Structure 1
Amino acid sequence: MHPLALFDCLISSLESQHTQATSAHLSARLAYGLTETTSRAETPVRINITSFASASSISISVGIDIPRVVLEFRISRLQQAPERVAAPLSTGSRSSKQHQNNPPKALGRSGPCARPHNASNSDDDLSRHLTSRRRQSKRLPHICGEDDTKTPALGRASLYLANELLAAVARFLDADGDIDSLVRCNRRLYHLLVADLYRHNAQHHEGSALRWAARHGRRETLERAIDTGVRLADFVLLPLAAEGGYLEMARLLLEQGGADVAVSDEGDWLPLGAAARQGHREVVELLMDAGADLETGYLGWTPLNVAANSGHVDVVRYLLDKGADMEHRSESGWTPLKSAACNGHTATVTLLLQRGADVRAAADRGWTALHSAANSGHGDIVQLLIDHGADPALPTMDGWTPLTLAADKGKTDAVRALLCKGADISLACGNGWTPLTLASDSGHVDIVKLLLEHGANVMSPCNHGWTPLSLAAGADRATVVKLLLEHGANIAATNDAGWSALLTAADRGHRDVVEALLAHGADVQAHTHSGWTALHAVAENGDLELAKLLLQAGANPMTGNRSGWTPFHIAAHNNRADLVQFFMGHPGTNFVQKDNNGRTAAFHAAMRNSVDVLDVMLSRDMNKSEVVDVEDDYGTAAIVAATRNGHAAVVRRLITVSNYDMASTDIFGRDLLYWAERSGNVDLLAIVKEHAAQKGYDSELPSETAGNPVRWVDDSCWCEVCTRCTVLGTTSWECPDCDEGCFLICAECYEFGKRCRDTTHDLVPHLCNRIE
């Protein structure tokens, strides 16, 4: 509950009652108000009021206990009663003597809804008495309004006491909202406490009300603050008024508020800069007349800079007439011309050029006004700048020309303007990207068409040999691909690594582009320097629909790359069960075809824990043991590879079809039970032990790491010898020549003397540091 609501109830009661009102009635009014206001209270509020009124004295005692406000007041005033007032508080048939012997009970102790009895004679006497006393009293202007004489005299004494009580209470309130609520009660309270409200806000809330008034143009609020004695100069208000364009308020702050034109706001904006930024010319003139500095601003942005940046041409003209430096640079090197050009303010650019602004002035990284205009797409300003001497071939420090910037951002108007003004269409930016390669990669069809119409080389490559067609294909720009093909782009062209447009599109899964390229005769069997075809890329990514499209165009799932991996191997290795099933339906699919390490697709599935792939493969009617028991070049069978890596589900599946000899040992002299125990996988060990018992085999090879599983690295790193994932934190060895530099040998195999397929190759250390 707002504490001031209680006081409002008290005031309402006192104003509406005669001084001889019975305590019962007054108590009832206060109780009603208290009940009404405390019903919304969040915390308990206690109020105790005791009063005594007679012809000679009025005494009010108020005790209020409110959260954060505890007040105790006792006010007593004696009044000289006329001799003829015999029974000022007489009620009913009681005699004055009886009443004098039995004074009324204290406020709040009488009946709950007692009404005062008629005492007209006493009322007249008391009214004349109080009227006389009030006229003799000195008026307190901070308590009573000027219309005080129009208020009925009856009860005025109690109102004086209430005013004093409220004035005292206001001094104890610590929130503007409390005082404001009290001020809003009625007109008398407004005159009483409005000055306290302004002073309190200024002293305790950093003049928030004043800042609000300055920001919203409420001049009368500032005038009232001045009248109440608040020093406006103690607060930064002028930048707020200037930014809002409040001319008269700014004048008031300068003339009566003591505002300083050199003091900035919280954002470090000076008044002149704030007004110029918003285009308030009259305020700018006022501040200039008050002595504001033309060449000072936030981060070096002078009033002219910000006015040009916002396109306020009238302010720009006025500041230039006042001598502002139009070549002044901000801390980042921006001139007024560059600011206006960047934001497309043609009239401002025209004015600055007429006044002789330097079109070659460059900001940080070498950006001129022309670069900014082209980058933002303002074709009319591009033409203006070039007509006034700007160089369209001038690059930034990063090698960007205005044309490459416009082409990259898709700014057709700027590109057209630059081409009309003779910009070199073949100039590339620092990384070798021409306007056409940039536009093709970004998919700006209109600009690609415009550049081709102006003679751009459709086959101009950027760094690493990427052509506009390959870039568009890789970025899924089907419309641009078709446009380039129509203008003679070579569909078979590749980059430095042998990637064609078809391979790039297939690798990134862009089906529409692949269809467009195949329709124009792209070679589906074209491969990179490492032997990867489009189908290899699709098999790795698992895009079944795209694989169907490529097979329909003649792709072969059994074509191997330089490592001997076919799309069939890759799908099995990456657990692409749907693709494996699809490839199995191809007439040329060979289940036992090996890669360069002697591994079949089933071996890859077992090594990489691809249970779904094994289920699909073993569901076919064939000699399953011939498929799963094929050993690689290091004498490892699929079931051994799965056991070394702890793949219990794979081993359980293979045991049902494998004829692997449990007593056989590998190149390390270790059997299957050894690897199962060493894996630390309890389920796997139980499966292998049960199978060994069924075969009548009991291993005599203890495992020194039993029950202590190894922390494997991310599954993209595995040893090509033992097939295990390489161990975290240990140094493996890598052959840069075999398998495109992906041939790894774990530390343990290296210590056993194992090497890559060519012992003459030099190995380099490789540290796996990614945890799965």
Structure 2
Amino acid sequence: MVELAALPTEVILYVAEQLQSQKAINWFSQTNRRFHCILDPYLYRFNAKHRRASALRWAARHSNIEVARKSLDGGANIHIRAKICPHLNVFQEAVCARNRIKKWLARPCHPNESRRQYSLRVHDMPCPKNDAMLLFLLERGAYVDSMFKSRETPLFAAVNQPDTQLVKLLIENGANVNFSNDVGNTILHEAVTGCNAWVVRFLLENGASVHSRNVFGCTPLHLASRGRILVQLWANIERSNCLPGMSSRFCATQCRRKLLECDADAGAKDPYDPDVRCEVVQILIESGSDLEARTVDGVTPVLFGALYGAELKVLRVLVENGARTDIEKPDGTSLVSLAESRHELTEILIANSPQPVDHD
């Protein structure tokens, strides 16, 4: 063993080069401390060249900066994607691991805690190791706006959860706040449906446009004015699909059908705090949102909200800020016609109707 330990470095590396597997090289490197010091960098080079930088992807998932640094120094490509999950690059794997890490660190739900409250508590938790990993990857050339298979960036995921710390980190490192996905939804469109006033305000302070429209003509105010409906659940399912070769839209459609077969209520009560939703709507209005902006179907935010299950107090905020209540769709749908099935809408119509003039 003494003679083996005294072998020249060139000979040790030559022997390692004759080994065909990463496991064999790893075993050889554990012969003694000197071998490990010599072969550790070679092992990372081998991994980068022959194992699609699996060490770097592992480091990203587990927030291990030391391993990530060694892997990159060994020639790993920071933009490489895994074979089994080809739509995720290294930076995206680190982003996706964040929520798993937080849930592992968080205590289970308290007896009187709702799922919504637990979710917000988890997302608001500090996650310094993951923060450090994301910053390290960005410093080494990761693209902050790299797109998932759903054609959305990490900032979309951050505002949807919502993860306020991740939102701040991504924007401060150059994330595009006006990036839009395939249907034209911008980051702000996504943020207003998550009903977190801080996230919406922070996006606006950093240049997000309140006038952006998706392919249906909806502005962020339209989406903020409605209730939380099943279509948002389908979007979450689409984002989580990571099976290669399977259409994410197919998965979303199948899930929607199954939910409805099980009597899922597309008009179920909005699980988000209506007061927070009202605050988000008010922030958008104060930032210059057009109260009379129309979708391609001719629907304004107040009518859109009435159509899609908005709470009465949300609609009241729109009307009190000047939204018209006499708008009709081309098919004749209006607040008046909707009031036949949603009787509480008559309160808004009566409050906004012209008062008779007293000639006495």
TM-score interval, smaller chain = 0.5 to 0.7
Tell me if 1:579 matches 2:199. Answer: yes
5 Å matches for 1:657-668?
Answer: 657-662=321-326, 664-668=327-331
Structure 2 stretches of 5 or more lacking a match? 1-14, 27-35, 99-129, 229-271
Cα distance in 2 for residues equivalent to 1:601 and 1:497: 32
> Post-superposition shift, 1:516?
1.4
Partner of 2:81: 494
Given the superposition, is the C-alpha separation of residues 692 and 480 from structure 1 closer, same or farther in structure 2, using an over 3 Å criterion? same
- TM-superposition CA deviations, 1:615-647 (whole Å, max 9, x none): 2452478575x5232121222221112212332
Runs of 4+ in 1 over 4 A off after TM superposition: 449-452, 459-462, 619-624
Give the count of matched residue pairs. 249
Partner of 2:226: 607
Given the superposition, is the C-alpha separation of residues 478 and 689 from structure 1 closer, same or farther in structure 2, using an over 3 Å criterion? same
Given the superposition, is the C-alpha separation of residues 482 and 694 from structure 1 closer, same or farther in structure 2, using an over 3 Å criterion? farther
Cα distance in 1 for residues equivalent to 2:278 and 2:59: 39
Tell me if 1:425 matches 2:24. Answer: no
Cα distance in 2 for residues equivalent to 1:564 and 1:467: 34
Cα distance in 2 for residues equivalent to 1:623 and 1:551: 19
Given the superposition, is the C-alpha separation of residues 695 and 478 from structure 1 closer, same or farther in structure 2, using an over 3 Å criterion? farther
Letter in 1 for 2:334: D
Partner of 1:562: 182
Cα distance in 2 for residues equivalent to 1:501 and 1:623: 36
Given the superposition, is the C-alpha separation of residues 459 and 541 from structure 1 closer, same or farther in structure 2, using an over 3 Å criterion? farther
3-state SS of paired residue (2:213): coil
- Give the counterpart of 1:469 among 45, 51, 56: 56
3-state SS of paired residue (1:457): helix
Tell me if 1:540 matches 2:160. Answer: yes
Given the superposition, is the C-alpha separation of residues 594 and 526 from structure 1 closer, same or farther in structure 2, using an over 3 Å criterion? same
Partner of 1:673: 336
Partner of 1:687: 347
| Relative contact order, higher structure (CA 8 A, sep 6+) | 2
Letter in 2 for 1:505: A
- TM-superposition CA deviations, 1:310-364 (whole Å, max 9, x none): xxxxxxxxxxxxxxxxxxxxxxxxxxxxxxxxxxxxxxxxxxxxxxxxxxxxxxx
- TM-superposition CA deviations, 1:181-205 (whole Å, max 9, x none): xxxxxxxxxxxxxxxxxxxxxxxxx
Letter in 2 for 1:618: Q
3-state SS of paired residue (1:677): coil
5 Å matches for 1:4-23?
Answer: none
Do the aligned partners of 1:507 and 1:541 also contact (CA within 8 Å) in 2? no
Partner of 1:720: none
3-state SS of paired residue (1:522): coil
- Give the counterpart of 1:526 among 139, 143, 146: 146
Structure with greater proportional strand content: 1
Do the aligned partners of 2:306 and 2:335 also contact (CA within 8 Å) in 1? yes
Letter in 2 for 1:652: R
> Post-superposition shift, 1:567?
1.6
Letter in 1 for 2:73: E
Cα distance in 2 for residues equivalent to 1:621 and 1:644: 20
Tell me if 1:649 matches 2:313. Answer: yes
Do the aligned partners of 2:45 and 2:74 also contact (CA within 8 Å) in 1? no
- TM-superposition CA deviations, 1:585-633 (whole Å, max 9, x none): 11x3211111222111111111235752552452478575x52321212
- TM-superposition CA deviations, 1:283-322 (whole Å, max 9, x none): xxxxxxxxxxxxxxxxxxxxxxxxxxxxxxxxxxxxxxxx
Partner of 2:47: 457
Do the aligned partners of 1:498 and 1:529 also contact (CA within 8 Å) in 2? yes
Letter in 1 for 2:94: A
Letter in 2 for 1:687: E
* Alignment RMSD (CA, Å): 3.3
Do the aligned partners of 2:155 and 2:170 also contact (CA within 8 Å) in 1? yes
TM-score, normalised to structure 2, is 0.59
Partner of 1:549: 169
TM-score, normalised to structure 1, is 0.29
Letter in 2 for 1:637: T
Cα distance in 1 for residues equivalent to 2:281 and 2:312: 18
Letter in 1 for 2:93: T
- TM-superposition CA deviations, 1:191-236 (whole Å, max 9, x none): xxxxxxxxxxxxxxxxxxxxxxxxxxxxxxxxxxxxxxxxxxxxxx
> Post-superposition shift, 1:559?
1.0
3-state SS of paired residue (2:142): coil
Q: Percent identity?
A: 20
Given the superposition, is the C-alpha separation of residues 500 and 614 from structure 1 closer, same or farther in structure 2, using an over 3 Å criterion? farther
> Post-superposition shift, 1:572?
0.7
> Post-superposition shift, 1:471?
4.2
3-state SS of paired residue (1:504): helix
5 Å matches for 1:691-730?
Answer: 691=351, 693-694=353-354
Cα distance in 2 for residues equivalent to 1:605 and 1:621: 11
Partner of 2:298: 635
Partner of 1:371: none
Cα distance in 2 for residues equivalent to 1:592 and 1:454: 49
Given the superposition, is the C-alpha separation of residues 469 and 659 from structure 1 closer, same or farther in structure 2, using an over 3 Å criterion? same
- TM-superposition CA deviations, 1:157-184 (whole Å, max 9, x none): xxxxxxxxxxxxxxxxxxxxxxxxxxxx
Partner of 1:485: 72
5 Å matches for 1:340-359?
Answer: none
Do the aligned partners of 2:144 and 2:174 also contact (CA within 8 Å) in 1? yes
5 Å matches for 1:200-279?
Answer: none
> Post-superposition shift, 1:450?
5.2
Cα distance in 1 for residues equivalent to 2:45 and 2:151: 36
